Amino acid sequence: MSDVKKFVVPWLHEAGYYSIQSVDDVEANPEWARMSINECPMPPSDKLVNAVAAAAKKGNRYPGTPNKLRTKVANLYGLDKDNVWFGNGSSELIDATMRIFVRPGDEVIIHQPAFSMYGVRISVCGGVPVDVPMKENYDFDIDSVLAAVTEKTKVIMITSPNNPSGNFISDEDMTRVFETGLPIFFDEAYLEFAPERESKAQLIKKYPNVMVYHTLSKAYGIAGLRFGYVLADPEVINYFKSVVITWNNSWLNMAAAEAAIDDTEELAKKVNFNNKWVKYFCDELGAIKGVKPYMSHGNYVLVDATDTGKTADQIHADALANNFQLKKFKPHHTRDGVFRITIGTEEQNQNLATWLKSYFG
């Protein structure tokens, strides 16, 4: 039999893949509190479920170009439908971005810590992720980002609010990045949790090198239905049309997306629930000696417990032993006790806070 490996593009041998083992683990252990994956703990509304069920009746037909939904999304930002393209979750658009801009050997700057899928999809294209650490307190370090730019740099990736730290980049620093003229991947996946903040999507009119990304997996709470979109200059959108596979969105996830976007009351309910519990965790954990929670504008709270003497590995293992699935992180500037809590149900949140206070107390 032929050795197929010798025909595979060489950079794929080391690229790896984005693991969803944490999802598999929690599915296999339903007694665990699912508080590691930045999902919404509240199920879709009946309105949304009914919309998806109605769309299923068209399942024998291919969907056409969703221009009505593109216009609806564009109107949220004062843009035109030609500024919008959809993905099967924003994950598909991360991949598409790399395939548009990155060749083997090209570099992509990632401000770390960040969503780990970024580096994987860069590597799948043969690109080189260039990790630039945030400051020790998780402030954006744009001086270091700009210093990392070389002739090989093809994309700079910024998430605002950042995952996992939950903070926004300042307008001044953002402008410095935008004005490099390089393609800028600007991820606003968690922006809806800060309704007082405006999207930076309008800036694509001034900076056609900027692409702004959104997902309905987080505040809208439809991670399992897979829907995201990119906002960009029409010429850039044309490249996404070429790269993203036809019929990547089904009748079902488009119906879910439209129902979710239309139901502003449901979105506000989910955002208010989330933000109440983010503050709760910050207040409760901030009162524990040696524990520092970071105030977040996402559906998670980053916690540094290094000064308690416990490592992220220890905290993660002990939490699992008590049926709480949390997210552990690699050391950040030698801080090795960093973990993240995803907001869960009311009962899960209360139980976890009680356990953490006892654990660190």
Residues 294 and 165: beta-carbon distance below 8 Å: yes
**Structure-token match 């924003």, residue found:** 90
Q: pTM for the complete prediction?
A: 0.96
The encoded tokens of residue 149 equal: 């730019």
Beta bridge partners of 303: 293, 339
Give the CA diameter of the chain: 64
The encoded tokens of residue 301 equal: 């709270």
DSSP H helical ranges for the chain: 21-28, 46-56, 67-76, 90-101, 117-124, 142-147, 171-178, 234-243, 251-262, 264-286, 312-321, 346-360
In this predicted structure, the answer to whether residue 93 has a pLDDT above a threshold of 60 is yes
Listing DSSP states for 48-101 in one string gives HHHHHHHHHTTTTS-----HHHHHHHHHHTT--GGGEEEESSHHHHHHHHHHHH
DSSP H helical ranges for 77-181: 90-101, 117-124, 142-147, 171-178
Looking at 13-22, 52-61, 80-89, 313-322, which range is the least confident one? Answer: 13-22
User: Domains in the chain, please, with CATH?
Assistant: 4-43+265-360 (3.90.1150.10), 46-263 (3.40.640.10)
DSSP assignment letter at 240: H
Q: What is the mean pLDDT of residues 191-200?
A: 98
- So what's the pLDDT on residue 221? 98
Q: How many residues does the chain have?
A: 361
The per-residue pLDDT of the chain, averaged, comes to 97
Rounded Cα distance between 44 and 256, Å, is: 9
The encoded tokens of residue 234 equal: 């029409």
- So what's the pLDDT on residue 16? 87
Element (H, E) at 154: strand 153-159
| Confidence tier at 289 by pLDDT (50, 70, 90) | very high
Residue type, 71: T
| Confidence tier at 361 by pLDDT (50, 70, 90) | confident
- So what's the pLDDT on residue 329? 97
In this predicted structure, the answer to whether residue 1 has a pLDDT above a threshold of 60 is no
Please write the tens of the pLDDT for every residue from 255-268.
999 999 999 999 99
| Confidence tier at 303 by pLDDT (50, 70, 90) | very high
